[in-house]
Amino acid sequence: MGWLHSSAPAFETISVDEAARLRDADAQIVDVRETVEWRRGHIPGVLHIPVHAIGRRGPDELDADRPVVLMCASGHRSTVAARILAKQGFSKVYDVHGGMIAWQRKGLPVET
């Protein structure tokens, strides 16, 4: 979908198909939803860091040299998280358009 170009740090918005491809290529998948949402179903192997904690926990728990794919319910909170990580110097940041709603509609794997 293209890189965000503005005065804000850059990240790319991608489809769930591209997110699945990046996951298979060893990208870090981060679910930024609240714990109650995450427990209802999430991508297998995903790292759970709620959006309110991404600025504090991201630098400690994520590898800034590997792609980071951010997922929420529909795409709003993951966009916020993408901006935060990009501002902190993460250079390969991806926001998943449609989030878990789109992921599940595609029939991609989910675990509880």
What number of CA atoms fall less than 13 Å from residue 21's CA on the CB side? Answer: 6
Burial 66-90 (b: 16+ CB within 10 A, else e): ebbbbbbbebebbbbbbbbbbeeeb
Active site residue 72: yes
- Helices and strands per DSSP (H, E), number in the chain: 5, 5
Instruction: From the candidates 72, 81, 93, 100, give the one annotated as an active-site residue.
Output: 72
Catalytic residue numbers read 72
